[in-house]
Structure 1
Amino acid sequence: MNWRRLYAVIQILGTVGCISIAAAGLYSVILIGICRRLIGLSENVSVFAIGIPSFLLLLTVFVRYLPAHLRKAGMLSDAPEKFGPWFK
């Protein structure tokens, strides 16, 4: 593995991972707040029964679909596979 390919892999994993964790956390906290206000759930129930499952679900969705949108926006380099066989 050469340095360009390693850089592309680290950039993709770091960027997608950080943005996915931050976005999933934000939306989970918003959902927890809505459930506590509208439904009247306690803090423990809303965090453990709603917050953690929604965080994990949103995290998998973001990790799956976010790289294409970030690449289209120009925030990511090309995929490591596009560097060609000479960079393996």
Structure 2
Amino acid sequence: MNWRRLYATTQIWLVVCLASAFGAGCWAFIAAGICRITFNLGDNQAMLLVFFPLFIILLLIFIKHLPKPLRKAGMLSDAPEKFGPWFKQDSKP
């Protein structure tokens, strides 16, 4: 594996994992807040019983399904040549 492909793979995994963690955290936080208000749970109970399990489940689901929408949005690239001018090959005569 050359360093360009390693950079591309690292970029893809970093973007997917960060976007998944952010999305799962937001949805789990909202669900924990709704459950806390609805069922009169304390802060610790809402976090332990609702937030953490839902966060782990959503994180795994988002990691599995999020790369396709991110590619359509243009946030992920397949080819390392698309990452910037420092990856362009020098043409030798």
Q: TM class, shorter-chain normalised?
A: 0.7 to 0.9
CA offsets 1:34-70 (integer angstroms, 9 cap, x no match): 0111111111111101110000000001000000110
Q: How does 1:1-88 map to 2 (within 5 A)?
A: 1-78=1-78
The size of the alignment, in residue pairs, is: 80
Q: 5+ unaligned residues in a row in structure 2: which ranges?
A: 81-93
Q: Which runs of 4+ in 1 moved over 2 A?
A: none
Distance 1:55 1:22, change over 3 A: same
TM-score, normalised to structure 2's length? Answer: 0.80
Partner Cα separation in structure 2 for residue 53 and residue 33 of structure 1: 14
Q: Which has the larger radius of gyration?
A: 2
In the TM superposition, residue 4 of structure 1 has moved relative to its aligned partner by: 2.0
Identity %: 49
* Aligned-partner residue type, residue 70 of structure 1: L
Task: Please report the RMSD computed on the Cα atoms of aligned residues, expressed in angstroms.
Answer: 1.4
Q: Which structure dedicates a bigger proportion of its chain to helix?
A: 1
Partner Cα separation in structure 2 for residue 22 and residue 51 of structure 1: 13
* Aligned-partner residue type, residue 68 of structure 1: K
Residue 83 of structure 1: aligned partner: none
- Between 35-44 and 54-63, the greater mean CA deviation after superposition: 35-44
User: Greater RCO between the two (CA within 8 Å, min separation 6)?
Assistant: 1
